[in-house]
Amino acid sequence: MGETVRMGHGAGGKMMADLIQEVFVPPLDNPHLRQLADSTVLQLGSEGSRLAVSTDSFVVRPLFFPGGDIGSLAVHGTVNDLAMRGARPLWLTAAFILEEGLPLDDLRRIVHSMADAARQAGVLVVAGDTKVVERGHGDGVYINTTGVGIVPDGVDIGPHRIRPGDVILLSGPVGDHGIAVLSQREGLGFETDLVSDSASLSGLVEALLTAAPHAHCLRDPTRGGVAAALNELAVAANVGVEIDEAAVPVRPAVAAACEMLGFDPLVVANEGKLVAFVPPEEAEAALEALRAHPLGQDAARIGVVTAEHPGMVLARTGIGGRRVVDMPLGELLPRIC
């Protein structure tokens, strides 16, 4: 019996990265896939538009959680991957794998939630697909959304533009989505009022890019949290990242849950937050723009990019020390999106 797929292969950490690098990239290799970004930019002909394209399957459990459900999440997740390239999200496809026995009322509620989220994000669901699997071969419903957006002329946002000296901003408190879903799933009931931050970030990105037109890179820290996002970018851009742990906003309910479970809030998933790498001269304007937007009121400056320790993320701790913020391994929080 050889190796098999384990839950950690899907959790957004090192195990998943290794699986992708070993199993998927070599046979399918091409310059787009090699970027390993959350979306890719496609050029139509030599003079044509540039399209951003992103795909995501959603297997969140439970289907309904405080602050959202699999339908709204499936819209937000893909819209956000497009927005992180500075693209204007336009179109989504939606493909459903339904489990035999799913109450049609649950499906109706999910589709309505999806429709509301699409309307709010300004995208159209232009094509779809429906498959059904036998009871015990699915989990209610899995949804794939694939998004297509237009990258405006002149916009070029990605890890390749990160430079030492860049200021790192975070749009708000971390871990709300992961802890809200986990709390619902395990019936842990740490708290009563924590809800997922699931939201479309395209408006926030627009505000940010208006104030900071030379922003270098954006990333939404979903599976694997801020720790995974910063580690991936540090490696991709071959730079060091240094953050001030005390500057990272965390709600008391999330902090308490993480302490109880032994989690680092930096590895817990978000679905409505972004980290932005901006040149220092635009950092203040960018931070103000984030804070002026309803989804960025608690935005904070959390760190800087350095030329030292390339590929590594360090945190200054509360007591003046430094620690390595590792890429999470993988098994912590599966099926969070």
Site for a second copy in 123-142 (CB under 8 A): 124-134, 136-139, 142
Output the CA torsion sign for 12, 142, 125, 45. Answer: positive
| Site for a second copy contains 160 (CB under 8 A) | no
Which structure tokens are listed for 72?
A: 């709204």
CB of 278 to a second copy, least distance (A): 25
Length of the chain: 337
CB of 178 to a second copy, least distance (A): 15
Instruction: Give the position of tokens 């980290």.
Output: 275
CB of 245 to a second copy, least distance (A): 30
Alpha-carbon distance of 101 to 103, in angstroms, equals 6
Output the CA torsion sign for 86, 61, 11, 300. Answer: positive
| Site for a second copy contains 56 (CB under 8 A) | yes
Which part of the chain contacts a second copy (CB under 8 A), choosing from 98-106, 230-238, 269-277, 279-287? 98-106
- Residue closer to a second copy (CB basis): 7 or 246: 7
CB of 123 to a second copy, least distance (A): 10
CB of 166 to a second copy, least distance (A): 25
| Site for a second copy contains 96 (CB under 8 A) | yes
Of 21, 62, 108, 246, the one binding a second copy by CB under 8 A:
108
- Residue closer to a second copy (CB basis): 59 or 254: 59
How many residues at the interface with a second copy, by CB under 8 A?
Answer: 80
Alpha-carbon distance of 229 to 218, in angstroms, equals 10
Phi/psi at 176 (nearest 5 deg)?
-60, -45
| Site for a second copy contains 294 (CB under 8 A) | no
Of 11, 84, 204, 312, the one binding a second copy by CB under 8 A:
11
CB of 284 to a second copy, least distance (A): 34
| Site for a second copy contains 115 (CB under 8 A) | yes
Q: Which of residues 191-250 bind a second copy (CB under 8 A)?
A: none
Phi/psi at 277 (nearest 5 deg)?
-105, 115
- Residue closer to a second copy (CB basis): 73 or 194: 73
Phi/psi at 57 (nearest 5 deg)?
-100, 145
- Residue closer to a second copy (CB basis): 98 or 217: 98
- Residue closer to a second copy (CB basis): 61 or 161: 61
Which part of the chain contacts a second copy (CB under 8 A), choosing from 103-111, 233-241, 263-271, 284-292? 103-111
DSSP result, 137-197: SS-SEEEEEEEEEEEPTT---SGGG--TT-EEEE-S-S-HHHHHHHHHHHT----SS----
Q: Which amino acid is at 259?
A: E
- H or E stretch including 53? strand 50-58
CB of 119 to a second copy, least distance (A): 10
- Residue closer to a second copy (CB basis): 3 or 193: 3
β-pairing, 167-170 vs 300-306, is antiparallel
Alpha-carbon distance of 123 to 137, in angstroms, equals 31
User: Taking CB under 8 A as the rule, which mask of x and - marks residues 19-48 in contact with a second copy?
Assistant: xx--xx--xx-x-xx-----xx-x-xx--x
| Site for a second copy contains 80 (CB under 8 A) | no
| Site for a second copy contains 285 (CB under 8 A) | no
| Site for a second copy contains 114 (CB under 8 A) | yes
Alpha-carbon distance of 204 to 68, in angstroms, equals 19
Alpha-carbon distance of 242 to 324, in angstroms, equals 9
Q: Please, what is the Cα angle at 290 between 190 and 221, to 5 degrees?
A: 50
| Residue 326 near residue 254, CB atoms below 8 Å | no
Of 83, 97, 278, 305, the one binding a second copy by CB under 8 A:
97
